[in-house]
């Protein structure tokens, strides 16, 4: 993880420009009371009218300079803050993308959205506007105190004491708010998670008439978020009157004691006027202390959250010098592969099989038998606990993750389509290599071209988020077309025809038979999807219970035969009714 100081140092010259602009702007502010003092002492009291035009001209120049350098200061800090936030968000998103699948198994999407958006925004605020004001408060306060002590050190003790009291109150307030900011950040992530899950599954919510329940769940988090913000407000409201009281009393006390010095002849009226103006100039830094400490504390809390994400390391890594195959042929082999999760629960046990290039293996089993886990291990989304997996006789742990995954086309059971055109969804992963003719051919193979070409925009039709507006079967066919269009040597179909009718599924199966150069791993519940495979394995409780061809498994009269009986009943293997002998 790049430290925050590294981002800041990358813009050190920009910060220097902003700081110098701020110094000049504040210095010009300090000149203005001195001009006022000379107008009163020299022109009004002393009667020297010849100096008036120069003093008024000085006030005009001070105002103009204040505008120019004030604008330069704010623009520079805002620009730097934008650059830093952009870089931090980019780096954080890239780090999240690098993490392995097990991290996302235990982390909510809403929490990650809060870190990438809200927490980076708080840091953005801290390194731009807040940091600028903190520097300005420090320099402004120092130069104001210098000017006041140069006028009258005894009178300057009053605002100094007021500043010490105000600073102590601000520190006490910041300590009270630290834990509250932490809780607000956590609850914000929880609130985002509930909202994201509800909106993503809104159709399921409506289908089960759970609107009232989901609203209640959202309101419970919303109320918690409200309560935490009210706690924050109560702390702020508790301490704010002290700031307000001090800042309002200070000019009056200065005027009272300064007036006695004027009466006694130890201070001129012009000097008192400048001193009162300086005391008014020192009011706003004290008022800002509480607000600045609040925002800075919030940014510190957000930075801690982001550092926790950076502390996570990917569990799936590749060797420093991975083996690069000149071209993947598609041979796949599992040797005594076992897999269990962190809690010790075993998913797969002693799985062995091999598929020659261009061959087909069917994988069947009940829900939870471990079928999808085989595919996840092949892609190295997870690593096998025991045993080895090979592609073209090379252990996939020794391969480049990019080469491994880019040579596997997969159609997941849970189809995900992006809110984009059908064409862009089909080209996903090889956007610059897949042309329109390939898209059309793959769509025809997936039996998707008929319904696509009936749409007004055909392949340029924009589909909704996650494929909203398409039926389940249409989404599956586009997903199959996406896999076929890439022409990768390994094709994985994970129960990818479950939403299709038998006729469409049969047409797709026939089209897949023509892909003789593609190794196919077909996970299915329907026997019709795997019956033509070179070998079929049947999983039970994570182990291979049966294996063989369609005919040999039927002859065994085991689990496969029972599945065939359940699906076809009194129908024969060819789909015709069997006759009694």
47-83 pLDDT, tens digit each: 777 777 777 887 788 788 888 888 888 888 888 888 8
Which residues, 6 or more positions from 121, have their beta carbon under 8 angstroms from its beta carbon?
85
Architecture of the domain defined by 410-487? 3-Layer(aba) Sandwich (3.40)
**Cα gap 508→506, rounded to integer Å:** 5
Within a 13 Å sphere around the CA of 410, how many CA atoms are in the beta-carbon half?
20
Among the listed residues 465, 437, 466, 443, the one whose alpha carbon sits nearest the alpha carbon of residue 455: 443
pLDDT of 511 above 80: no
Torsion angle of the four alpha carbons 550, 553, 554, 557, in this order, in degrees rounded to the nearest 10: -170
Say if residues 366 and 525 touch (Cβ distance below 8 Å): no
- Cα atoms in the 13 Å half-sphere on the side-chain side of 221: 18
Query: What's the Cα-to-Cα distance from 300 to each of 78, 128, 293, 401, rounded to whole Å?
Result: 19, 14, 10, 36
504 close to 493: Cβ distance less than 8 angstroms = no
Provide, rounded to the nearest whole percent, the portion of the chain with pLDDT above 70.
87
pLDDT of 316 > 60? The answer is yes
pLDDT in tens, 111-157: 777 788 778 888 887 887 787 787 878 888 888 888 888 888 888 88
- C-alpha distances in Å from residue 364, one per residue of 41, 70, 114, 563: 98, 71, 40, 10
Domain boundaries for CATH 1.20.1560.10 within the chain: 4-311
64 or 3, higher pLDDT: 64
Please state which CATH number belongs to domain 4-311. 1.20.1560.10
pLDDT at residue number 498? 63
3-state secondary structure of 343: coil
- Tokens 């019709």 correspond to 528
Residue 572 pLDDT > 70, yes or no? no
Helix axes 52-98, 131-151, angle to 10 degrees: 150
Q: In the predicted model, what is the mean pLDDT of residues 480-487? A: 78
pLDDT at 318: 83
User: Are the C-beta atoms of residues 306 and 92 closer than 8 Å to each other?
Assistant: yes
pLDDT of residue 565 exceeding 70, the answer is yes
Alpha carbon distances (Å) from 179 to 130, 173, 227, 294: 20, 11, 14, 11
- Residues 99 and 115: their CA atoms lie apart, in Å, by 15
What dihedral angle (degrees, nearest 10) is formed by the CA atoms of 426, 429, 434, 438? -40
**CA dihedral sign, ordered 35, 41, 44, 49:** negative
Which residue, 529, 530, 564, 563, is CA-closest to 549? 530
Report the chain's mean pLDDT, rounded to a whole number. Answer: 78
DSSP state of 323: B
Global confidence as pTM: 0.67
Q: What is the mean pLDDT of residues 535-557?
A: 86
pLDDT of residue 575: 45
Contact residues for 281 (Cβ-Cβ < 8 A; gap 6+):
29, 30, 33, 140, 144
Angle at CA of residue 558, ends 554 and 563, nearest 5°: 75
pLDDT tens string 351-391: 888 888 888 888 888 777 788 888 888 888 888 888 888 88
Bridge-based pairing of strands 535-540 and 360-365 is parallel
- Range list for CATH 3.40.50.300 in the chain: 410-487
Calculate ∠ Cα 441-443-446, nearest 5°: 110
The H or E element containing residue 30 is helix 12-38
Residue 92 binned pLDDT confidence (cut-offs 50, 70, 90): confident
| Residues 6 or more apart whose Cβ sits within 8 Å of residue 19 | 135
Q: Determine the Cα–Cα distance for residues 238 and 246; give it in Å rounded to an integer.
A: 14
Residue 579, pLDDT score? 37
CA distance 125 to 529: 56
Range of lowest pLDDT (66-80, 269-283, 524-538, 561-575): 561-575
């Amino acid at each position: 993880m790049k430290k925050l100081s590294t981002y800041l140092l990358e813009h050190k010259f920009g910060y220097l420009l902003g700081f110098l602009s701020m110094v000049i702007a504040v210095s010009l502010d300090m000149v203005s009371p001195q001009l006022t003092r000379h107008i009163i002492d020299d022109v009004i009291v002393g009667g020297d009218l010849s100096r008036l035009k120069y003093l008024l001209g000085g006030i005009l120049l001070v105002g103009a300079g204040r505008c120019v350098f004030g604008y330069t200061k704010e623009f520079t800090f805002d620009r730097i803050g934008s650059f830093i936030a952009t870089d931090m968000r980019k780096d954080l998103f890239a780090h999240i993308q690098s993490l392995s699948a097990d991290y996302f198994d235990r982390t909510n999407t809403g929490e990650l959205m809060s870190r990438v958006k809200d927490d980076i925004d708080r840091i953005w605020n801290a390194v731009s506007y807040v940091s600028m004001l903190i520097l300005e408060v420090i320099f402004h306060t120092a130069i104001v105190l210098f000017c006041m002590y140069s006028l009258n050190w005894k009178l300057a003790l009053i605002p100094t004491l007021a500043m010490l009291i105000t600073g102590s109150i601000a520190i006490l307030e910041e300590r009270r708010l630290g834990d509250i900011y932490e809780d607000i950040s956590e609850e914000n992530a929880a609130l985002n998670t509930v909202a994201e899950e509800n909106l993503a599954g809104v159709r399921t919510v409506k289908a089960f008439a759970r609107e009232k329940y989901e609203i209640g769940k959202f309101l419970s988090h919303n109320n918690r978020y409200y309560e935490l913000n009210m706690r924050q407000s109560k702390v702020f409201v508790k301490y704010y009157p002290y700031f307000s009281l001090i800042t309002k009393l200070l000019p009056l006390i200065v005027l009272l004691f300064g007036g006695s010095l004027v009466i006694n002849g130890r201070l001129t009226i012009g000097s008192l006027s400048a001193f009162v103006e300086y005391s008014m100039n020192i009011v706003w830094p004290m008022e800002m202390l509480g607000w600045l400490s609040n925002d800075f504390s919030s940014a510190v809390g957000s930075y801690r959250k982001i550092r926790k994400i950076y502390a996570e390391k990917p569990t799936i890594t590749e060797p420093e010098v991975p083996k690069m195959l000149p071209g993947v042929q598609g041979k796949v082999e599992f040797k005594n592969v076992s897999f269990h999760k962190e809690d010790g629960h075993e998913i797969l046990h002693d799985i062995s099989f091999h598929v020659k290039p261009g061959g087909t293996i069917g994988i069947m089993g009940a829900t939870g038998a471990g079928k999808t886990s085989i595919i996840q291990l092949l892609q190295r989304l997870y690593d096998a606990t025991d045993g080895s997996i090979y592609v073209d006789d090379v252990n996939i742990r020794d391969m480049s993750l990019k080469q491994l995954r880019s040579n596997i086309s997969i159609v997941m059971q849970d189809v995900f389509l992006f809110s984009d055109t059908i064409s862009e969804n089909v080209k996903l992963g090889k956007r610059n290599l897949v042309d329109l003719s390939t898209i059309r051919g793959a769509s025809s193979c997936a039996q998707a071209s008929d319904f696509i070409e009936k749409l007004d925009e055909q392949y340029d039709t924009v589909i909704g988020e996650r494929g909203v507006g398409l039926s389940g079967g249409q989404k599956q066919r586009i997903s199959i077309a996406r896999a076929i269009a890439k022409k990768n040597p390994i094709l994985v179909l994970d129960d990818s025809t479950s939403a299709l009718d038998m006729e469409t599924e049969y047409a797709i199966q026939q089209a897949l038979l023509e892909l003789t150069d593609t190794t196919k791993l077909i996970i299915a519940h329907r026997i019709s999807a795997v019956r033509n495979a070179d070998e079929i394995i049947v999983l039970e409780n994570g182990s291979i219970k049966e294996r063989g061809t369609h005919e040999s498994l039927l002859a065994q009269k085991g689990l496969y035969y029972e599945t065939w009986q359940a699906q076809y009943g009194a129908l024969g293997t060819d789909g015709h009714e069997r006759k009694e002998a």
